[in-house]
Structure 1
Amino acid sequence: MNSPKIAILISGTGSNARRMINFEPLRTCCSFIVLSSKNNESIQSFCNDRKLEYLELSGDTDELNIQIERICQEKHVTHIILAGFLKKISPNIIKNYRERILNIHPSLLPKYGGKGMYGRHVHQAVFNAGETKTGITIHEVSEIYDQGKIIAQYEVTISKSDDVDQIEQKVRQLEELYFPEVVKNFVIG
């Protein structure tokens, strides 16, 4: 049996992609390809240093999905991980990777999920609502934003003195702590 090949899709800095690639239990059993919807010289250099393939996608959402599907098929990708990828994934990719495509969301779903709820928008909404806790949700991807089967959730307390930046930092710490391990369990058990 071939080892798992993970396509990590990013739209931002790639911090979660770096953590997954550097996570020893994943690195020793899986291979990676990083697909970015934005120019990212830093993650490209990171991938080059590790002899990993990095590809930049271009075009509108439909064109991106065509590229993702083609690349994943050509590269024999077994799993797709959305790590800050901000584009909608096509129903065809979701169907072809059912139960093998995972996303991380910066809130405790179902709260603060859906179209337009990503990154700082989520943290601002959590702050504005006066929530006393927030967290991360790692879930399978479905045709509806942020409504796939929940694989794991981790929470953190928000104090009354926390501002949006502090909330965001607390959530990032949860991502750093838990996301690579959950991906490992999802991909290899």
Structure 2
Amino acid sequence: MLKMAVLVSGGGTNLQAILDAMDNGIITNAEISAVISNNPGAYALKRAEARGIDAVCISPKSFENREAFNEALLAKIQSYGVDLVVLAGCLVVIPKIMVDAYPNRIINIHPALIPAFCGTGYYGLKVHEAALERGVKITGATVHFVDAGTDTGPIILQKAVEIREDDTPEILQRRVMEEAEWVIMPKAIDLIANGRVTVKDGRVHIS
């Protein structure tokens, strides 16, 4: 059984998609040990509590510096003995100590087709604003492993979403979530939980 810690910062819609996929048998052989947020007001924590999952807040404001926060976050994750760390709308920059502790065991969802509209500064609505401004016809979402860079880790799954003429950033954001993010994040977790994902020379292979 794959044990997961899910890191969140806000409403937890991606967390809910994971929970629903577990209920529906889309994700098998996996369980969530803890949901951890940097934001005490994150509604995602309430979603976790409602399911009887440990809901933990570790706020950077509670520590004298970022290094102390990073160490506390890593220690809390390690205390659960998890196999996989899932970033589900987590706005915390993942520190090197965590990447080193969980090589190819941290996954993130990015709301674009990497390498387009990714890297430093591309998060949330900013991604969709950039896609519309550039006039691309197709966007989507990417699930990838987290490495020391920003959105540079090995790509696990991608799914394309068509951009429509009357899209606003908010409308596009919602459609990318519904059509891509909430589909490929659960699928990626299931593949990993069932031992079907390997990484060789920086590339993901699915058996």
- Check whether TM > 0.5: yes
Q: 2 CA distance for matches of 1:85 and 1:43? A: 11
- Describe the shift of the 1:18–1:136 C-alpha distance in structure 2 as closer, same or farther (beyond 3 A): same
Matching residue of 2:190: 184
Q: 1 CA distance for matches of 2:158 and 2:69? A: 29
2:167 to 159, 162, 170: 162
2:102 to 76, 79, 97: 97
Superposition CA RMSD, Å: 1.7
Pairwise CA distance, 1:68: 2.0
Q: 1 CA distance for matches of 2:21 and 2:193? A: 13
Correspondence 1:8-87 to 2 at 5 A = 8-24=6-22, 25=25, 26=27, 29-40=30-41, 42-59=43-60, 61-87=66-92
* Runs of 5+ unmatched residues, structure 2: 196-207
- Counterpart contact for 2:157–2:188, Cα < 8 Å: yes
Q: 2 CA distance for matches of 1:74 and 1:84? A: 22
AA partner of residue 35 (structure 1): I
1:109 to 100, 114, 118: 114
- Percent sequence identity over matched residues? 28
Deviations along 1:55-112, whole A, 9 cap, x unmatched? 0111164343212210122111111011111111111211111111100000011111
Count of equivalent residues = 187
- Counterpart contact for 2:5–2:84, Cα < 8 Å: yes
- Describe the shift of the 1:161–1:29 C-alpha distance in structure 2 as closer, same or farther (beyond 3 A): closer
- Describe the shift of the 1:126–1:183 C-alpha distance in structure 2 as closer, same or farther (beyond 3 A): same
SS of the aligned residue for 1:181 comes to helix
AA partner of residue 123 (structure 1): H
- Describe the shift of the 1:39–1:142 C-alpha distance in structure 2 as closer, same or farther (beyond 3 A): same
* Runs of 5+ unmatched residues, structure 1: none
- Counterpart contact for 1:107–1:122, Cα < 8 Å: yes
Matching residue of 1:148: 153
Q: 2 CA distance for matches of 1:20 and 1:67? A: 25
TM-score between the two structures when normalised by the length of structure 1: 0.91
Q: 2 CA distance for matches of 1:120 and 1:140? A: 22
Q: 1 CA distance for matches of 2:175 and 2:42? A: 27
Please identify runs of 4+ aligned residues in structure 1 that moved more than 4 A: none
